Structure formats: C-alpha cells, structure tokens
C-alpha cells in the first residue's frame, strides 16, 4: 500500500525539524534563490508536522529543505498547477477513499504573496476521466497551457482561461509534462524520457534530447528558469541511465529528483531539432523526502543575476476612505543572484501592468512610500515594483490592494456544541474584523445566515448575533454548518467541522460496511495516532490476502510503508449514539480476521469521540487459516456483554485497533460486521449467523415465529414484499442474522 495515498486521511502527527545543515547541498548557480511547488506528500517539512502537505518553498541549494506555506486539509489534492507572476492556478480534487474516483473541484487561484484563495470554474469539462498532468505559464503570450488526458481525446494540450478556469483543447500531444520558454515555445517529456518541442498549430512533436530517464511515475512538473534559460524537471522515473557508462542508477520511482536540462539558446521563432547540439542534464538530488511534487515555479529577473533583487517589506493597503492605495517598500541591498548591490539606476511602480510612477537617483536599502487616490472602479489592484540597474530589470515584486468597500472575511472559530441527547446543537463563531480582500470594511454592517448541510436546512437568517441554536433534527445523520457572513458588497462562506446529531438509534444497530456512504452517515472513524495509516472502506484488496471480496473496514500496513513515522496502531470505529433502555442486557458481536495477530478492544462512552471512552473487553485476533470448503480465510466471531451502567443512557460503542508496531512486518485486519443487540437471555445465546433457519425467498424473508426484521437504519421492516437491500433478522433466541434481498 502506498503511504502517500493513505496520508490524505491524516492530520499532523510527528514533528520533524530539519535544518539546512542536515540536507545535501547542490552545486546549482546562485543556489540561495527560492523556488515553489506543491507537495502531494512529503515526510519532512522544516516548519510543519508529518504528514502535512501543500504548497511550499525551498532553495536550489537545499531542495530537500522545504517550508510549508499553504497546508491542505487532508481530503484535497491537486492534479496539476502553475504559477503566473506569483499567482498559482491549480486543478484540485477531493479524495474520499482509495477505491473511489476523486471528484473534481473548481480551479483554485492561490496568491503566494498575500495568501488569498479564490475559486474559478470547474476544470473537468464534465468528463470524469479528463485530467491535467502538468501546467505551464507562457510569459510571452500570457497564457496558461496544460497537458491533459481524456478518454475521448487521449493526450492533448489545452489552454486554460485565467478568468473562469475553462479548458479549451489546442492540439494533440504526447508526454506527461509541459513547459513554455521565454519565447513561447512549448516542450514536453514523454514516457521514454525524450524531450520534445510541440508545435501548437498542428500538434507535431519533434524529439530533441534523450534524458535516458524512462518510465515516468506520478506527479511530475517541468518549468523553465527564465533567468538562466535552463529547463528544470521535478522527475520521478523508474530508470536513469544518463551517465557516461549508460548504467541504470534509477531509484525505481521512489524519490522526486530535481533535474536541470541545459537547453542551447536559439533565436525566437527558430525551432529545435534533434540535430541541435549542446543539450545536457544535471541531477541535483531529491526534492523533499519520499515526496511527490508538482506545480514547479521559479521566480526570475529579466536582467539576470546582476540585476537588483526584489524590493523588501512591500505593502499595498487601501486608504481609510477606500478610494486609493498606500504603498511602502525598501529597495534591495542584494542583486538577484545574492551578491552585494552597489548601485541602482531607479525603479518603476506598475498598477495592473501600467506604469504609474518612476524614480531615479535612489540608493540600495532606501525606504520608499507612495500613494495614489481616486483610482475609480472598486476591485482588487495589483502593484508591481521593478528595480533596475545597468544589468537590467530585477524581478517583479507584487503587492495587492483592494479599492472600495469590501465584503466580509470568513468567520473563524466555528464551534459545534451538541447536547447530551444529540438533538440540540449550539453553534458559535467569531465575527470577521476585516474585509475579505483587506479593503475598507465596516464590521457593524455584517449579518449572518446559517445553513445546515447536507439537507440545506436554514437555521438562521439575517441575524447579527454570533451564535445560533438548531433543534430541528428529524433523523440521525452526519451534518455540518455553513456560516455565511454578508453585507451589501457580498458574502463569504465558512464551513464547520462535521458531526453526527439527531434522534438516537434503537437496538439493534448493525454495520456491515457494504455502503461507505451509509457508514459515514452515522459512524465515526479516527486515525487517533495521526500516522496516516488508518481505516479503508470499499476496497477489493482482501481478495489478494484472504481470497474473497468481503466488504469490510480494513487496516493495512505493508513492509514498504513502515518507517520511522509509523506508530503503534490506534485506529477507532465508533457507533452512532444509541438509546439503551433501563432493565435490559446488551451485547456486541463482531466478526474479524487478520493476516498477523492484532489487538482489538471494545469500549463504550457518552459521545462518538475517543475522549471519555471506557474499555469493556480486549481481544487477540489471530489468523484462523484457510477454510478448505471455500478456499478463503474465515472470520472469527467475538461477543462482548456491555456493562449494566450503559442502561438508561444514550451512549456510543467504540472499537479500537491497538496492535503495537513491534517486530510485526505487516498488518492486514478486517472487520466485516458489527451487531449491537439486546441480550436479555444471557450472553451465551448470541450465536453465529448461520445457526438460525433464516432464508430469503424472492422478496420475502422466512424466519422463525416471533422474529423481528430491521433495515440498516434500525427501522422495523416487516417480512414480505421487501425492497432490495440488507436486513437484520433478530430471532426469538436473540440471534442476529444478516440477509440480503436482491
């Protein structure tokens, strides 16, 4: 099992502090320069705990020393991204399980200068199998191109609309990565390691250089350093024989390498061919640790390394009336290459690409303030300062100012407080104190709407308080809230964490993990040790291990995924709130099997969280061998009597996988069914499912007289003319039998 896949379901765990002194230094020219990208996985950030992931920055000298600048939420990834003058455009997806197709989300626009994020339109063109694999920004023509795959068009190049995120096909293509040089020429690298130039007018791909790095794996990125003209490749390949001996020194796709391809200079308008000499390639080592990297972005200076560096402490803010901007910055003291800057010829200020101010006779390190008023139309304005000397222009340094009255920023600190019986929720939040774009903003003008998801029930509308109460729950379900802050300029939505609420279920309660959506509507699962290795649902992996396709909750750790960050198992499944009546006896029955011995514990508690759980029993689940009749691995049945103190309460039943890591090289554990039942006759009367003469005939269930039939929501279902589905039959002997009506 690939650990990077499992890391989506994890939160932060083990803090790993790395300094540049511990990382291998590369020999790249002017290695102190920063480059950016997106890590889908990376085991070591210098400022974040494992298994965090997201946008980061690092230097060419130490590409493995990564600073996380924009973390992602654990359920979202990116297929591809590119940065246009400091603003990322990315194609995200949401991830729910290893066996389900990721769902496309709107194009994400992320400003690395001020951290603002906006959503554009969807990128997937209504085709679930349309996916970009890399993107690039053409600085000459100011266009974004992506290399994509779809079932209908195969591999093609698309242009992305930078206003609405729409993709328009340009031509057929080959390869999996894409980059544009400073003259607008387009390049790709294919699965066999060949670098091609692509003609956008007809899709013709001309091979120009053999990297000898073959068999591309996932998450590649290709981008030009426009300062040097070199082509950088964040590369994952199975083989690498680019050396004098032609010996394969590849790492079998384990690591992402930073490779620089020297591309000989050609005049604009002239195309490369295989006869052009002067190509070369250098491997600068790993980006991150066990990392998957994409969205490479390299800031550049048109004047080269001797041009002035970027201005420092650059700020652009709306003035008090919201009609203009106040700018402040310090002129650089270093060249773009990092040397001492001895002279500056001047600087220019641009607003949205138009020069609005110019100054000369300035000195390195000089503090500058500048302002303008009466700009006009409300909106976000970009300011760039470019400092220049005899070598030429330094890099663009952006800052952003919102002119005009602003809509509210999102509310913060949404807290969900659920009552003891799970039928009332008190919601609180912190009011925004600034505008969404940091523009002029009046906090007193804000009102709020509160909408409950997924049923879109409006809890409150146009309120001024920062609290609301919800008592209208007709059924138990997994819910969340949208708190919408709004004023006359617009609205901003913030979403709470998910929770389970509603009338408590009644016994019997059963879960067979056949339908993951049904499970998640009322049960909770937790990766309580935060190591990224936790429950999977709806996979077919059990066939390779146990010989069948039983649908289960599964915990999987392979020898290749155990590392220094993997911990003792602490994985939880917790039932929905259940009403346990006074004067009755209750028990839990579950079926489980394991590839190696596992420790599985049973708990109960007042809430569907780990905190407050009390242990009831502990079991050693050991391999039971192959059933000769079926040729598959059998399940063992375990029965636990719940304590009397649970009666008269609304409580939850928890299950903890708690196997110590130890010397055990693998973990493959499955829970197939969990039944929480009444046990008035005593624990010994709860038998195996096959002990009762219960059967299905057509759409009827045939069972002993006095049996009760329930659907998976715990509702009485009758026995005749039933719709297709899974049912639980409770017999007079208090046995529970799971049956399927087809």
CA 87 vs CA 8, 110, 400, 636: distances in Å: 25, 6, 11, 55
664 pLDDT more than 90: no
| pLDDT given at position 49 | 83
482 membership: H or E segment, kind and range:
strand 477-487
Least confident of 577-581, 723-727, 733-737: 733-737
Neighbours of 209 (CB within 10 A): 24
Question: What is the pairing mode between strands 54-59 and 67-71?
Answer: antiparallel
| pLDDT given at position 13 | 28
Contact (CB, 8 A) for 632 and 549: no
317 pLDDT more than 80: yes
18 pLDDT more than 80: no
d(CA 92, CA 108): 7
Average pLDDT for the chain: 87
Over range 158-170, report the average pLDDT: 95
d(CA 266, CA 269): 8
Over range 497-519, report the average pLDDT: 90
Tokens in use for 112? 């690395």
Contact (CB, 8 A) for 427 and 459: yes
Return the percent helix, strand and coil in the chain, to nearest 5. Answer: 5, 45, 50
Least confident of 10-24, 237-251, 423-437, 702-716: 10-24
| pLDDT given at position 387 | 97
Within 13 Å and on the Cβ side, how many CA atoms surround 65?
Answer: 18
| pLDDT given at position 21 | 40
Least confident of 128-142, 561-575, 676-690: 676-690
160 pLDDT more than 50: yes
| pLDDT given at position 561 | 56
Q: Using alpha carbons only, what angle is made at residue 633 by residues 629 and 636, rounded to the nearest 5 degrees? A: 105
Residues 319-375 have pLDDT tens digits of: 888 889 999 999 999 999 999 999 999 999 999 999 999 999 999 999 999 999 998
| pLDDT given at position 7 | 29
d(CA 204, CA 195): 13
For residue 243, what are the contacts with CB-CB under 8 A and spacing of at least 6?
A: 249
For residue 244, what are the contacts with CB-CB under 8 A and spacing of at least 6?
A: none
d(CA 64, CA 44): 8
**Percent of all residues in the chain with a pLDDT value above 90, rounded to a whole number:** 61
d(CA 701, CA 707): 10
Please confirm whether the linkage preceding 362 is cis (ω < 30° from 0). Answer: no
d(CA 443, CA 446): 6
pTM for the whole structure: 0.69
691 pLDDT more than 50: no
Contact (CB, 8 A) for 360 and 346: yes
Neighbours of 691 (CB within 10 A): 12
Q: How many helices (H) and strands (E) does the chain have?
A: 3, 59
Contact (CB, 8 A) for 675 and 575: no
Neighbours of 111 (CB within 10 A): 18
Residues 39-61 have pLDDT tens digits of: 999 988 999 887 789 999 999 99
Q: What are phi and psi of 666, to 5 degrees?
A: -135, 155
Identify which of 294, 297, 293 has the alpha carbon closest to the alpha carbon of residue 134: 294
Look at 378 and 164; give whichever has higher pLDDT.
Answer: 164
Q: What are phi and psi of 401, to 5 degrees?
A: -135, 130
Over range 171-189, report the average pLDDT: 96
Contact (CB, 8 A) for 374 and 323: yes
For residue 499, what are the contacts with CB-CB under 8 A and spacing of at least 6?
A: 416, 418, 425, 478, 479, 480
Contact (CB, 8 A) for 208 and 195: yes
Torsion on CA atoms 237, 243, 247, 253, rounded to nearest 10 = -10
471 pLDDT more than 60: yes
**Percent of all residues in the chain with a pLDDT value above 70, rounded to a whole number:** 90
Over range 664-691, report the average pLDDT: 68
724 falls in which pLDDT band (50, 70, 90)? confident
């Amino acid at each position: 099992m690939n650990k990077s896949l499992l890391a989506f379901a994890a939160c932060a765990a083990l803090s790993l502090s790395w300094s540049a002194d511990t990382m291998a230094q590369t020999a790249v020219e002017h290695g102190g320069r920063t480059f950016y990208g997106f890590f889908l996985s990376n085991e070591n950030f210098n400022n974040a705990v494992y298994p965090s992931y997201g946008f980061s920055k690092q230097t060419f000298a130490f590409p493995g020393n990564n600073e996380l600048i924009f973390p992602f939420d654990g359920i979202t990834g990116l297929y591809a991204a590119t940065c246009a003058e400091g603003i990322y455009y990315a194609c995200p997806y949401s991830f729910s399980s290893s066996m389900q197709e990721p769902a496309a989300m709107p194009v994400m626009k992320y400003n690395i200068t001020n951290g603002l994020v906006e959503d554009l339109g969807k990128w997937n063109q209504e085709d679930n199998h349309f996916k970009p694999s890399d993107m690039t920004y053409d600085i000459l023509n100011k266009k974004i191109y992506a290399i994509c795959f779809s079932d209908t068009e195969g591999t093609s190049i698309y242009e992305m609309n930078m206003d609405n995120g729409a993709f328009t096909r340009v031509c057929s293509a080959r390869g999996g990565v894409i980059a544009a040089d400073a003259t607008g020429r387009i390049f790709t690298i294919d699965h066999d390691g060949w670098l091609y130039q692509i003609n956008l007018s007809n899709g013709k791909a001309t091979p120009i250089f053999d990297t000898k790095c073959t068999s591309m794996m996932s998450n590649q990125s290709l981008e030009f350093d426009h300062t040097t003209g070199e082509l950088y490749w964040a590369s994952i390949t199975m083989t690498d024989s680019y050396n004098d001996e032609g010996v394969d020194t590849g790492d079998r796709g384990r690591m992402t390498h930073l490779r620089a391809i020297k591309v000989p200079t050609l005049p604009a308008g002239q195309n490369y061919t295989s006869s052009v000499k002067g190509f070369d390639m250098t491997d600068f080592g790993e980006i991150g640790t066990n990392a998957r990297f994409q969205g490479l972005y390299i800031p550049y200076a048109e004047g080269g390394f001797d041009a002035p560096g970027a201005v420092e402490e650059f700020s652009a803010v709306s003035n008090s009336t919201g009609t203009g901007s106040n700018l402040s910055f310090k002129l650089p003291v270093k060249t773009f290459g990092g040397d001492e800057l001895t002279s500056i010829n001047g600087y220019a200020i641009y607003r949205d690409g138009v020069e609005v101010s110019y100054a000369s006779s300035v000195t390195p390190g000089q503090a500058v303030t500048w302002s303008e008023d009466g700009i006009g139309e409300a909106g976000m304005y970009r300011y760039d300062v470019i400092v220049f000397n005899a070598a030429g222009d330094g890099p663009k340094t952006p800052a952003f100012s919102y002119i005009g009255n602003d809509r509210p920023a999102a509310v913060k600190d949404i807290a969900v407080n659920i009552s003891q019986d799970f039928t009332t929720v008190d919601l609180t939040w912190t009011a925004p104190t600034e505008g969404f774009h940091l523009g002029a903003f009046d906090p007193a003008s804000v009102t709020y709407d509160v909408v409950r998801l997924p049923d879109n029930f409006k809890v409150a509308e146009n309120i001024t308080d920062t609290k609301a109460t919800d008592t209208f729950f007709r059924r138990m379900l997994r819910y969340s809230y949208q708190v919408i802050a709004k004023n006359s300029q617009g609205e901003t939505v913030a979403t709470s964490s998910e929770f389970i609420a509603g009338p408590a279920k009644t016994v019997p309660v059963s879960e067979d993990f056949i339908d993951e959506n049904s499970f998640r509507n009322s049960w909770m699962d937790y990766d309580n040790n935060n190591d990224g290795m936790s429950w999977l649902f709806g996979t077919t992996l059990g066939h390779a291990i146990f010989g069948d396709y039983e649908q289960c909750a599964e915990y999987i750790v392979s020898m290749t995924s155990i590392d220094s960050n993997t911990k003792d198992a602490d994985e939880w499944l917790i039932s929905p709130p259940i009403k346990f009546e006074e004067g009755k006896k209750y028990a839990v029955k579950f079926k489980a099997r394991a590839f190696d011995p596992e420790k599985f514990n049973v708990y109960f508690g007042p809430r569907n969280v780990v905190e407050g759980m009390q242990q009831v029993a502990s079991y050693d689940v050991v391999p039971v061998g192959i059933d000769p009749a079926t040729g598959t691995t059998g399940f063992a049945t375990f029965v636990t009597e719940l304590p009397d103190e649970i009666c008269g309460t609304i409580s939850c039943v928890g299950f903890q996988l708690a196997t110590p890591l130890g010397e055990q090289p693998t973990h493959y554990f499955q829970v197939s069914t969990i039944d929480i039942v009444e046990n008035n006759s005593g624990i010994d009367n709860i038998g195996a499912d096959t002990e009762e003469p219960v059967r299905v005939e057509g759409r009827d269930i045939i069972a002993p007289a006095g049996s009760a039939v329930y659907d998976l929501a715990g509702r009485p279902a009758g026995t005749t003319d039933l719709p297709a589905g899974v049912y639980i039959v409770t017999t007079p002997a208090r046995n529970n039998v799971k049956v399927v009506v087809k």
